[in-house]
Amino acid sequence: MRHVWNESRSQAQQMVAAWTKEDAVIRVAKDTRTLSLNVLAAIGFSKSFNFESSAPEQTGSADEKFSYRDALQLVLDHAILVMVVGRQHLLYSWLPAWIRRIGKAADDFQTHMETMLDDEMTSLNRGEKGTGTIMTSFVRALDQHQQDSSKGMSAEEVFGNTFIINFAGHDTTANSFAFAVLLLGANPAVQEWMAEEVRQAIAGSTQDNWDYATLFPKLLRCRAVLVSKVSVKTRDLILISIQLETLRLYPPIMSLPKQTIDQAQELTAEGRTILVPPKTTIFGSVLGTHTYSEYWPDPLTWKPSRWIERDASGQEAIITPDRITYFPWSDGVQNCPGQKFSLVEFVVVMATLVSEHRLRPVREPGESVGQMQERLRSVANDCEAIMILRVKDADQVRMNLEKV
């Protein structure tokens, strides 16, 4: 997590530098997606990239060679097409160039995965410790599979899991960033609330020396803008609350499948007990639960402060909701393994954004502040579910990042 913190901090600083250039064009969804992808590539697969603000879409050549990041980005943007049609069927010469370009990106991504696997195997076979990334664990699982086919993972399973980790670990966090930035733009008071905590937490630290072990436990208010169950109780909580509240209203997965095994299971709800037959799948509605008025007062309002309470001594703490009322990362033994990763990344990026700057939406001609705020909320609420929940068109909002 220290590496996640440091890489996220570096990418956030680069994004702030890009967003504060003269005539900068901030593309909220695409830029935060680039940041998230860069962090995951560096931490999970030792592929480091500098942050570059997203340029308008370009067609490009169907024959260009894609880097690991750019190949993955294009594949993720067109994941349904790649999965339904198959990458090998997207390369036919008679297809339009934009489709062949997607096929080429999928092919190049496969090549990058094979190269990473080969390099890691060579390193470990030499007696070296390897990169220490997810790929190191995959190679060990592959070795185990080669010794006993009933154990470990095959090469195809390694490639499949590499893609799934990239997809699940990237798009979910990136979309949470986009929702949070739009909502923060519409709520300047919440930005000040966060900044107050950040100022207290980083007192005595330099901009180039934000220590994970020292600062992360203090930045709880950032997390309240996104988290699941939080047992940590410290003085500074706002960053946590931002994360918690964003995931309450905008969970990446809106329903979660759970299945009974060989025995029927009892399910109790509102005083009634239902017998669920064996081998039956139930889709629990995450969004419905997170906006259920009996669990959450004023459920459709984005209100990070709802996550903060004061104990008898006056200290702030994050509330721990009942497990049945909040589960954006699922729950139980099959909850999301990337929860802490996304939490650390989210907190340091949010803290970096508001430590010396504020998000300032650009008002339309004749638009009042109240109308502008309502427009931003409307853009955030105009969602679509393409695999996961995301903002349909964040580019409707023009945003500036101002030094304060």
305, pLDDT greater than 60: yes
Predicted confidence at residue 172, as pLDDT, reads 83
Pair 68, 44: CB distance under 8 Å? no
Region 243-272 average pLDDT:
88
Region 247-263 average pLDDT:
90
Neighbours of 257 (CB within 10 A): 10
Q: Which residue has the tokens 């989210």?
A: 346
Q: Tell whether 381 is covered by a domain.
A: yes
What is the band of 59 on the pLDDT scale with cuts at 50, 70, 90?
low
Q: Tell whether 264 is covered by a domain.
A: no
**Residue 337's domain is classified under what CATH number?**
1.10.630.10
CA-atom Rg of the chain in angstroms: 22
Region 332-347 average pLDDT:
83
Structural domain harbouring 238:
2-253+291-403
Predicted confidence at residue 403, as pLDDT, reads 94
Helix (H) or strand (E) holding 358: strand 357-361
Chain centre to alpha carbon of residue 285: 20
What is the band of 335 on the pLDDT scale with cuts at 50, 70, 90?
confident
Q: Tell whether 338 is covered by a domain.
A: yes
Q: Tell whether 152 is covered by a domain.
A: yes
- Choose between 224 and 368: higher pLDDT: 368
Looking at residue 366, the DSSP 8-state letter turns out to be T
Q: Tell whether 271 is covered by a domain.
A: no
Q: In the chain, how many domains are there?
A: 1
pLDDT digits (tens, 9 = 90+) for 262-283: 999 998 877 899 999 999 999 9
244, pLDDT greater than 60: yes
Which two structure tokens, joined as six digits, stand for 262? 């060989």
Report the predicted TM-score, pTM, of the whole model to 2 decimal places: 0.83
Mean pLDDT, rounded, of the chain: 85
Q: Tell whether 259 is covered by a domain.
A: no
Predicted confidence at residue 225, as pLDDT, reads 61
Q: Tell whether 276 is covered by a domain.
A: no
- Distance, in Å, from the CA atom of 230 to the CA atom of 2, rounded to the nearest integer, reads 19
- Choose between 368 and 173: higher pLDDT: 368
Q: Tell whether 165 is covered by a domain.
A: yes
Helix (H) or strand (E) holding 99: helix 97-125
